[in-house]
Amino acid sequence: MVIWLDEIGDADRHRVGGKAFVLARLRRAGLPVPDGFVVATDEAIDGKGEAALRAAAARLGGTAAVRSSAALEDTAEASFAGQYRTLLDVGAADLGRSVETVRRSALDADAAGYARALGIEGEASGSPLPVLVQRFVEPRAAGVVFTRHPAEARAMLVESHAGRGEAVVSGAVRPDRYVLDRETGERRGGAPGGSLDDTDLRELFRLARGAEALLNGPQDVEWAAGAPGIVLLQSRPITVDAEPPRDARVRRLTRANVGEVLPDAVTPLTAATVVAFLEDAFRQVARRTGLLPPNAAPFLALHRQRLYLNLSLCLEIGRRLPGFDGGEMERLILGAGAGGGRGARVPLRAWPRLARVVTRLRRLARELPADVEAARAAVEALPARAAVAAAEPGRLVDLIDGLDRAGAIVAPAHVATSGACGVRLALLGRLLDALVPGEAAPRVNRLVTGLPGLESAAPVEALETLAGEVRERPQWMAWLAQPPAEAAAALRRGEAPAGLGTRLDELLGRWGHRGVSEGELRASSWEDDPTPLLAALSARAGSPRPPGFRARAAEQLGRADEAALRARLGPLRALLVSRAIAGAREWVARREATKSLAIAL
């Protein structure tokens, strides 16, 4: 039986499916939804059914979009997004075959597996699937609107791409992104010259808020902008898993350290990869050193999609390390001004445990160079970004498995190196506390800042070198004076001054994987969006200071501080402090090297 959208009533949901039922509601409310009909579950595509389809196609006019409309599709229980086939621009002669193709997709392994994972096996068990047929709108742009931004409750996120929108919905392309204020629709972000202008965004805001109000909750709205204007193609509740219950063993959390790696909201993909790598690495290193408490809680916790470090567990590990007290461990994690411990005297009964810990730490230190080399080899074996971008879906699964294997090697090497570096810095601080008046923590920071040759500082050094070249060329300076987003668009079009374009291509070829939020997989790298890079280059080119001034000044300050320490101490103590400083600097360099490997993942 064919049921037109305008004929669907409140009792028809099971017959027409979730997608068609919602679109019928939107259409009745006056929102722009392309006309169409549903081939219900009881309609056989035989001679009589073919005749009914031909008659409906003639009434509809033009070509059609043929999509699934399962009973639970586009509901709060399950979206089934991407699980069933969608066929676009279908002519009347092919309509019957297209309806059957979409119906058969209910038997696909992906749809069945999705249903099993949600405990709703009957949804994809092979029973006839309602199929939605709508007038096809050829879009100049299409995409989705999240009426509540996944990372910011007071914002709305619009994702758009020139042409048809299925690539945006499936994640096959990197869309243009626009952030709007949820209350006013005022545009907060989005590069100029994208696929949407301000008029489009105002209309999308109005329609999305209308859909949200009608459907009583935040929505993921699929849309297309074509000759008739903007039309709505589907709307489903935003399916965000509830936050897991809080672990009672976790009493104190901190953003220290981890907030630098992942400063913004963590997406599910990043949580399943980067966060999982780090959690496993923390546990692995703590276990190897014999410091992991039995039945320990996780080291990392997600709260409101932000990553936190379990400070309770870190302090417990500190208490298990003879010679450290809680205050000193807290200061090591949170920085100067926290805690205030100055180390604890090791009682005689704790010496055997101290000996065991020291033995394990020495073994870890001996094994660490080989672990770091294995990490470097794992990173070098990763495929080029261009190969990943061109990979077919099946190949992408293999590449993600390869990323998992590399992460399992790189993350422990970085965590172990960072831990060893932290211990070296703590020991240097303790030595300075004992030998020199005044607070040790700021002095330790000065002694290890601005070190030459750090791998993690190489992109900044390259940028400052290029800024020095820009300063000498008025044409380059003039080009960089335009807004960074416009300069980035011009760079993509190949419109940068010839020499500057070549130098930027070289810089991006070497450091294009770097970015602003480097731990978040969804965040744009410099190669994806060079806007932040060009903004930084413009700022440095406008500075009167020569390239590398900040790093050289910090290095000179550290060397001067070291010389002052040596001058006020006797020969033996001066030698002891110098060796401690040299050891701390060496481990800082090692830490930054493994950090660069982790970012290269």
Architecture of domain 2-135: 2-Layer Sandwich (3.30)
- For position 316, what pLDDT does the model report? 84
> Any idea what the Cα angle at residue 541 is, between residues 539 and 547, rounded to 5°?
110
CA distance 577 to 343: 18
> Any idea what the Cα angle at residue 144 is, between residues 139 and 149, rounded to 5°?
155
Q: What is the dihedral of CA 580, 583, 587, 588, to 10 degrees?
A: 60
Domain residue ranges in the chain: 2-135, 141-237, 253-436, 455-554
- For position 213, what pLDDT does the model report? 95
- For position 134, what pLDDT does the model report? 96
- For position 106, what pLDDT does the model report? 64
* Residue whose C-alpha is closest to residue 49's, from 128, 163, 166: 128
- For position 41, what pLDDT does the model report? 72
What parts of the chain have a pLDDT lower than 70? Answer: 42-47, 71-84, 106-128, 165-174, 189-193, 239-246, 304, 322-355, 357
Output the CATH code of domain 141-237: 3.30.470.20
Contact 318, 328 (CB under 8 A): yes
pTM, two decimals, is: 0.60
**Tokens representing residue 322 in the block:** 């003879």
CA distance 85 to 351: 67
Average pLDDT, the chain: 82
**Tokens representing residue 197 in the block:** 């202008």
**CA dist list (Å): 484 to 15, 198, 507:** 53, 19, 17
- For position 37, what pLDDT does the model report? 95
- For position 290, what pLDDT does the model report? 84
CA atoms within 13 A on the CB side of 188: 15
